[in-house]
Structure 1
Amino acid sequence: MQEQGTSSIAASSLPSSSERSSSSALQLEVKEGGQRKRGRSPADKENKRLKRLLRNRVSAQQARERKKAYLNELETRVRDLEKKNSELEERLSTLHNENQMLRQIVKNTTASRRGGNGSSNAADGTL
């Protein structure tokens, strides 16, 4: 006898076909009741899809902004490094010229000491 009582209670709690057609109201009640409904209505699927699309658009926009900031940072770094490279090349050229002049001075000085004519080279203007 109990089996018939439980089956009639279960049957009475199931929604009729007309109640199933009003799915959005039913799903809210089912979800709030703690039960889970396996199948989703097309409206819920569409809503979920639209939310996912919106999240993807926002995420893509943020990724583009991060990429733009990263590229701007890289371009700034390139300009700074090119400027530093130019300064170092100029310094290298200056030091190279100075080194050449000093080598010439050392060469002339040692040549004049060996030759004994130290005063003639100084009057010549080449050091």
Structure 2
Amino acid sequence: MESDEEIRRVPELGLELPGGGASTSGREAGAGAGGPERAQSSTAQASSRRRVRSPADKEHKRLKRLLRNRVSAQQARERKKAYLTDLEVKVKELEKKNSEMEERLSTLQNENQMLRQILKNTTL
């Protein structure tokens, strides 16, 4: 049966010690009831797990990271391009609306001026 510490431990993916996990828990149980020896044993095992990684595994991990980074960068560029395209469409819409409003303003100002002139002429 696994101890509470073994249950809480997060396994490192892709890394297994030779001999499987069952012998590891047996070795840890034989190390003592707990305390510093067990902590040192866990630390030694964790550091030995890191040493197990071969240069080929490191290269594979590096290449996977580079590929993820390239994909992420490409997605960021595509999002930026879509964002800029959207902004350009909005700019054109706003410019069109602005010119329509300027034209309407001019028309209303002319109409207002004519009405004032008519009002001025009728009062005289």
Query: With structure 2 as the length reference, what TM-score do the two structures score?
Result: 0.62
Q: Quote the residue 2:55 is aligned against.
A: 42
CA distance in structure 2 between the partners assigned to 1:102 and 1:32 by the alignment:
99
Partners of 1:29 and 1:68 in 2: how far apart? 44
Task: Spell out the pairing of 1:100-115 with structure 2 (5 A cutoff).
Answer: 100-111=113-124
Q: Give the superposition deviation at 1:33.
A: 2.4
* Structure 2 counterpart of 1:82, one-letter code: E
Aligned to 1:30: 17
* Greater RCO (Cα-Cα under 8 Å, separation 6 or more): 2
Task: Give the ranges of 4+ consecutive aligned residues of structure 1 lying more than 4 Å apart after TM superposition.
Answer: none
Give the gaps of 5 or more residues in structure 2.
1-13, 25-45
Q: Which of 74, 83, 105 is matched with 1:70 structurally?
A: 83
Q: CA deviation at 1:29?
A: 6.2
- Alpha-carbon RMSD across the aligned residues, in angstroms, is 2.2
Return the match for 2:92 from 79, 86, 94. 79
CA 1:65–1:32 in structure 2 vs 1: closer, same or farther (change >3 Å)?
farther
1:28, distance to aligned residue in structure 2 (A): 7.1
Aligned to 1:30, the other structure's residue is in SS state coil
1:69-89 CA deviation, whole Å, 9 max, x = no partner?
111000000000000000000
Decide whether aligned partners of structure 1 residues 28 and 101 sit closer, same or farther in structure 2, where only a CA change above 3 A counts.
closer
Mark the runs of 5 or more structure 1 residues left unpaired by the alignment. Answer: 1-26, 112-127
Which TM-score applies when normalising by structure 1?
0.61
Larger Rg: 1
Mapped to 1, the partners of 2:107 and 2:60 lie a distance apart of: 70
C-alpha distance in 2 between matches for 1:41 and 1:97:
83
